Structure 1
Amino acid sequence: MNKELLLELYKSQSKIIYGYLIKCGCSREEAEDIVHDSFIKAIEYMDGISVEKLPSWLFKVALNNYKNKIKRKSLINEVSIDYEGFCSNFIGDNDSLEILLWKEKEEHVRECLSKLKEQSKTLLIFKYDMELSYKEIGKLLGLSQEVVKTYLYRARNEFKIAWRDSYGR
């Protein structure tokens, strides 16, 4: 196994995975444990996985570890977002009245996000809360940039529909 490759993978992916787990409602300690466990699995299985697929494989391992912890503990999965950043990125900076209205409905945004498919929620959090590029998202999810753009377009529409269904706007 290549130590330099593992170190580079850790530098580039651990903070993103950790941040995403926190956004999904994981405690800091649990997120650290999951990242640690995921890299231990990477050390064990790294030779059997192609280098270009390692980041997405590692993310999937971490996400599966988190889901298993939720199942074992029967935890409620509450999305934690940087609300102001999410709104300004999702809506845009031009419409300040719209942003003010969204600030009043922080709980509603979380509720709508929790209604989305896991992939849609993940994409929206990566793009609008964690502010990752299409390339970074694609690398994490093992998708091309074009596919990420398409899925993100669908995720935004899914969010808008969930919002309209719940709040009529």
Structure 2
Amino acid sequence: MTEKEYNECVRLYADNVYRFILKNLRHEEDARDVVQSAFEKMWQRREEVDYDKSKSYLFTVAYHQMIDHLRKVKRITLKDEFSEQVAISHKPVNNLKKVLEEALSRLSETQRSLVLLKDYEGYSYKEIGQITGLSESQVKVYLHRARIQLKNYLVKPENVL
């Protein structure tokens, strides 16, 4: 991959990768760090990366960076707990968005990643398997179970809009 092709990858895929990681981590600074780290790794290996496969490579690296980040965060114990209610929002809260985010947050990390890769980013089952290290049949089964969980949450009377 040339420097020009790398810059084209940044232009084309940075927003998509960031959105995918942010939906999983739900923390902007951590998502930026993970995405930056993924692009840094791609830069370091740019001579080995085929431009035609750069999107898949980038999502794979970002996914693994995110998993590493989540494992690291789980090992850290915080002495002080912070309230998320302190966050200030300048936009009116959309109830549908809130319900969907809550539904996604109830999924396991793997299920949430699979739903986001398939339904938000449009990857095929095979590509998702390559990114996550799961077999194509595992991707289908986990995705099916995740969608059932989402459906069951979203059809509850208190969540129906």
The TM-score, its normalising length taken from structure 1, stands at 0.56
User: Could you tell me the percent identity over the aligned residues?
Assistant: 18
Kindly tell me: are residues 4 and 140 of structure 1, through their superposed partners in 2, closer, same or farther at Cα, counting changes over 3 Å?
farther
Q: Deviations over 1:23-62 (max 9, x none)?
A: 1134212211111111111011122233222211111111
Structure richer in helix, relative to its length? 1
Structure 1: 5+ residue stretches without partners: 76-81, 86-102
Match of 1:124 among 100, 115, 118: 115
1:60-71 equivalences under 5 Å are 60-71=60-71
Give 1:162 deviation, angstroms.
Answer: 7.1
Which secondary structure state, in structure 1, belongs to the residue aligned with residue 47 of structure 2?
helix
**Structure 1 CA distance for aligned equivalents of residues 67 and 143 of structure 2:** 26
Give 1:84 deviation, angstroms.
Answer: 2.0
Which amino acid letter does the alignment assign opposite residue 42 of structure 2?
A: A
Q: Deviations over 1:103-131 (max 9, x none)?
A: 7xx38x7356533572x423433565x4x
Output the aligned Cα RMSD: 3.9
**Structure 1 CA distance for aligned equivalents of residues 2 and 114 of structure 2:** 30
Which secondary structure state, in structure 2, belongs to the residue aligned with residue 24 of structure 1?
helix
Please say if 1:156 is aligned against 2:147.
yes
Please say if 1:55 is aligned against 2:78.
no
Judge conservation of contact 2:17–2:35 (CA < 8 Å) in 1. yes
Kindly tell me: are residues 112 and 45 of structure 1, through their superposed partners in 2, closer, same or farther at Cα, counting changes over 3 Å?
closer
Structure 2: 5+ residue stretches without partners: 77-93
**Structure 2 CA distance for aligned equivalents of residues 29 and 15 of structure 1:** 14
Give 1:16 deviation, angstroms.
Answer: 0.9
Matched with 2:18 is 18
